[in-house]
Amino acid sequence: MKRNYTGAAVSLLLAGMLTVTGCGGTEKKPAEKPGEKAAAKPAAGLTVYTSVYNGMVQEMAKPVVEQQLKDVKVNWQTAGSESVKAKLLDEMKGGRAEADLVMISDPDFYLQLKKDGKLLNYKSPESAELAEPVDSDGAFTPIRISAMVITVHNDKIKESPRSWKDLLDPKYKGKIAMPDPKVSATALATVAALTDKYGWEYWEKLKANGVVVSKTMDMREKFAHGEYPITITMEESALKQKLAQGVNATIIYPEEGSVVVPGYIGILKDTKNPEGAKKLVDWWLSREGQSAMSLAYMHPVKYGVKEPVGAQKLVDLRIHSLSVNWNRLAVEEKQVKEKFAAIMK
């Protein structure tokens, strides 16, 4: 059963537009001179590469953005973070990326883009009260926070693991699946964090315990049917399966800590529509944009916006989280992926 983000959720967002001014406010237009008639301007194009779920983008964000940003025509292109990165880098090698903005959960990638001078600095007026710091130069801005957790199918597992280390227990052999870090940036962050804590030996032992490295969508589907009774997955995916799809699941926040991954938005320096891009950044940081994140089970970064239903409080996620060295991962990403792949062969 696919979650429908429309209906009440979108109605709430659209209703909010009547009372809250998003996108950094509106500019006062100069009065027309006598005899002049304002000509309607065609909407300027804007392309966004994002790893946010296509359903959430098309059914929740898109209709609200179209209502609020009538002078901007947004082309949303969705894929996994690693696929977005590969596409963007390939286009940059060819001379210029098609995207105007990139919006994924991969802090180390933004650090690399900034280092390479690929991002346009912009500090949104909506970024004053955020739970996650904005880049000091405004090269990229947080818009959501995700967490990697463990999910257990209650129909198949009677005694749940409580920690990442518990997944090595022989009683869970052949019952665990996880996304591929070559495709999933949050999975890559999890590999980096657990390797820092336990060494590569952890993954060697998990391989010996029969872990399956799967495509993300296949993993979720097989978890729903109980074929993969334990998964390493994103909190928002687990919440969606449990609350919206009715899967009999328990979400485990591991004793060592979840892996917390901020999601950012950045404007590419080569954009031909910088003002439109800035307006879209403002919208994602507005109460409407942040509420859309929350309704899609992702943690908003703006103070005062309700957190996702059923999720652990962000303050608790942060207190009990495994650290990720994003600067080091930006340098060692290729080696981490290759080492993990070699272990899982």
Question: What CATH number is given to the structural domain containing 191?
Answer: 3.40.190.10
Residue 290: predicted pLDDT? 96
Tell whether 242 is covered by a domain: yes
Please indicate, yes or no, if residue 51 is contained in any of the structural domains: yes
pTM for the model: 0.85
* Residues 214, 326 share a domain: yes
Nearest CA-CA partner of 125 in 279, 288, 290 = 279
Number of domains forming the structure of the chain: 2
Sole residue written with tokens 């005694």: 159
Residue 262: beta bridge partners?
145
**Residue 1 covered by a domain:** no
Same domain, 54 and 154: no
Q: Are residues 55 and 104 in the same domain?
A: yes
Contact 278, 268 (CB under 8 A): no
* Token pair recorded at residue 120: 């346009």
- Token couple for 255: 């004793």
- What is the predicted pLDDT for the residue at 59? 85
CB 140 within 8 A of CB 296: no
- What is the CB neighbour count within 10 angstroms for residue 248? 13
Rounded to 5°, angle at Cα 341 from 80 and 192: 70
What is the domain range of residue 227? Answer: 146-259+318-344
- Dihedral angle of Cα 127, 10, 271, 130, to the nearest 10 degrees: 10
Q: Please give the full DSSP string across 218-251, using - where no structure is assigned.
A: HHHHHHHTTSS-EEEEEHHHHHIIIIIS---EEE
Q: Are residues 195 and 133 in the same domain?
A: no
3-state secondary structure of 131: coil
- Give yes or no for a contact between 100 and 47, defined as CB atoms under 8 angstroms apart: yes
Residue 181 and residue 164 share a domain: yes
220 and 232 share a domain?
yes
113 to each of 39, 285, 328, how far by Cα in Å? 39, 21, 14
Does 195 lie in the same domain as 172?
yes
| pLDDT the model gives residue 43 | 64
Residue 56's pLDDT is 86
CA 152, 157, 163: angle at the middle one, nearest 5?
Answer: 55
Per-residue pLDDT of the chain (345 residues), as tens digits, is 344 444 445 444 544 443 333 333 334 444 444 444 444 455 679 999 999 988 889 988 899 999 999 999 999 999 989 999 999 999 999 988 999 999 999 999 999 999 999 999 999 999 989 999 999 999 999 999 999 999 999 999 999 999 999 999 999 999 999 999 999 999 999 999 999 999 999 999 999 999 999 999 999 999 999 999 999 999 999 999 999 999 999 999 999 999 999 999 999 999 999 999 999 999 999 999 999 999 999 999 999 999 999 999 999 999 999 999 999 999 999 999 999 999 999
Classify 53 as helix, strand or coil.
Answer: coil
The DSSP bridge partners found for residue 74 are 46
Phi, psi of 315 (to 5 degrees): -60, -35
The rounded radius of gyration (Å) of the Cα atoms in the chain is 21
CB atoms within 10 A of CB 291: 21
Is residue 3 in some structural domain?
no
Quick one: 207 and 101 in the same domain? no
- 2 located within any domain: no
pLDDT at 26: 37
